[in-house]
Structure 1
Amino acid sequence: MATTTALNWKLVIDTRDAQPLADFWAAALGYEVEDPSALITHLLATGDLPEAAVAEHNGHHVFRGYAAVRHPDDPYDPFTGIGKGRRLLFQDVPEPKTVKNRLHIDIHAGPDGLTSLVTRLETLGATRVEEFDRGPAGHWWLLRDPEGNEFCAA
């Protein structure tokens, strides 16, 4: 039997406005928003990137329509700002979200508990949808992020 090497991955999320959604998820997860400004400056200077592909967000050059967040403990390339571990990439798409997600993120409550986590997520812009209490099988909240993407807090 052949041995399979584990593959690296990132979760890509379609958005209407990538930068604010990346800010929400960075705050929700305790991740860092990737800063591609050094790479963008280089690409602009060499003529490899048109000005139209660049926007400004929170005082940094960003790729228009794209943003990513990464786990703060994972390695990243300091020049590009791109994480080499756990990360979420947000990309703008023209069509709105119309149906329930087929894939979602579960956020696990820390030592402060589920109520504290859900309250904190609401202050960041999440919306409570429904509470589930399955006794020994689990207790969680279904929520929506600011763009309506479903996720759970447990």
Structure 2
Amino acid sequence: MALHWKLVVDCRDPNALADFWAAALEYVVEDPSEFIAQLRESGQLPDAAVVEHGGGYRFAGLAAIRHPDDPFVPLSGIGEGRRVLFQGVPEAKTVKNRLHLDLQVGPDALAPLVTRLESLGAERVAWVDQGPAGSWWVMRDPEGNEFCAG
């Protein structure tokens, strides 16, 4: 039986990075506001573990995005399919990623994609041309995590 999985990204600002990647991938930022309210009312979640973000309440050190077509738990907003979790860590990124996303749109849609990603806070790093094997942009998200667009 295949395993369920999620990609976890260490970062300094989970909520801001979740917003970036949700917009970049056209995913949905999970909204745990109702779940957080229940946890706070029952005394199970201290105020220090919560931030206001995006018009609601989010966990201070965690944020996630999910594919808009995948099922999710209504109370918590937690996706039950394709999902990326952003986990707060105290240190900044210092070396190249060992794992990265490849956003694939094809040559005709690449320029508009790169322009849109830059408007969200990404930056171009290098153009890679592998001839018949393909070409793409190496880019960085707002926290410096590398990804490819091609």
- Same-fold call, TM cutoff 0.5: yes
The alpha carbon displacement at 1:52 in A equals 1.2
How many residues matched? 150
Residue number among 125, 135, 138 corresponding to 2:134 in the alignment: 138
Structure 2 residue 29 is matched with structure 1 residue 33: yes
Structure 2 residue 55 is matched with structure 1 residue 59: yes
The amino acid of 2:123's aligned partner reads T
Q: Corresponding residue for 2:68?
A: 72
The runs of 5 or more residues in structure 2 that have no matched partner are none
Q: Corresponding residue for 1:11?
A: 7
SS of residue matched to 1:48:
coil
The runs of 5 or more residues in structure 1 that have no matched partner are none
Q: How far apart are the structure 2 equivalents of 1:114 and 1:10?
A: 26
Counterparts in 2 of 1:103 and 1:121: CA distance versus 1, 3 Å: same
Q: Corresponding residue for 1:96?
A: 92
SS of residue matched to 2:81:
coil
The amino acid of 1:45's aligned partner reads E
The alpha carbon displacement at 1:27 in A equals 0.3
Q: Corresponding residue for 1:126?
A: 122
Q: Corresponding residue for 2:112?
A: 116
The alpha carbon displacement at 1:50 in A equals 1.1
The alpha carbon displacement at 1:105 in A equals 0.5
The amino acid of 1:89's aligned partner reads L
Counterparts in 2 of 1:124 and 1:112: CA distance versus 1, 3 Å: farther
Segments of 4+ moved more than 2 angstroms: none
Please, what is the CA RMSD of the aligned residues? Answer: 1.1
TM-score (structure 2 length as normaliser): 0.97
SS of residue matched to 1:113:
helix
124-133 vs 105-114, which moves further: 105-114
Q: Corresponding residue for 2:39?
A: 43
Q: 1:58-89 CA deviation, whole Å, 9 max, x = no partner?
A: 11011011110000000000011000001110
